[in-house]
Structure 1
Amino acid sequence: MNVINSYITLNNLEIYAYHGVSPQETKVGNTYIINLKLKVDYSKAGETDSVEDTVSYADVFSIVKEVMSTPSKLLEHVVYRICEALFERFKQVEEIEIHLDKNNPPMGADIETAGVYLACSR
């Protein structure tokens, strides 16, 4: 079989964290929604059925959760830190797409979420 692209995804991951510019945001916190798409060649895992031959999405979640636990003022900074941590931990990851949204941001508008999107590669 000729595999063109393979990805591992985590969709609509909810994490409560304390990011924001205002002191209230870092004190009260908010729910954040994360969507990740990792380009990984997992063709060997497709043959072996072994988690050692791929990137475990449970391990990806652990890293994202850890990075999210350190407050930042800007979501832009958070997604950069997540990407750096994932690239550092998983040499198999070639590219990352990440969406990070904050629920009901305190900006005086009737809005469900506001967020950032980052696509990066090694």
Structure 2
Amino acid sequence: MDCIHLTGIRCYGYTGYLHEEQVLGQWFEVDVKLWLDISTAAKTDAIEDTLDYRSVISLIQNLVKTSKFSLLERLVGTIADAILTECDRVTQVQLTVSKPAAPIPDFGGKISIEVTRTKSNL
């Protein structure tokens, strides 16, 4: 199976356990791998024969921007399920969502959650 990688999708959103995170918001970074068959598009050079990944980027940005969840786990699961539901050609998705500036004292790293889902998980 073929795979399209979309990396470094930056979105501003309001998911977080702390009240301030849901009010003030913060930046998130999203990387996604999309498994699908691109063999027809490789021959025809027609966007109709593949996945227009602009739609996936918009879907991710919209979900991060409009969702207000306490847990990053819920946001990641929601995005993965939405991609599999909205994108008929995609059979599997691997998604990583990161908080580059997690509000944890004395912690300068980032927090990331990764999920892998297939159509059969829906």
Q: Same fold (TM over 0.5)?
A: yes
* Corresponding residue for residue 118 of structure 1: 115
Deviation at 1:112, TM superposition (A): 2.6
**Mapping of residues 1-122 of structure 1, within 5 Å:** 5-69=1-65, 70-122=67-119
Deviations 1:75-109 (A, max 9, x none): 11011111111111111111110110002111113
- Whichever residue aligns with residue 68 of structure 2, its letter is P
Q: Give runs of ≥4 in structure 1 deviating > 6 Å.
A: none
Q: Select the structure that is richer in helix.
A: 2
- The aligned length equals 118
Q: Work out the percentage of aligned pairs sharing the same amino acid.
A: 25
Residue type of the alignment partner of 1:46: A
Q: Matches of 1:27 and 1:56 in 2, distance apart? A: 33
CA distance in 2, matches of 1:73, 1:65: 18
The offset of 1:33, in angstroms, is 0.7
Unaligned runs of 5+ in 1: none
The structural deviation recorded for 1:8 is 1.1
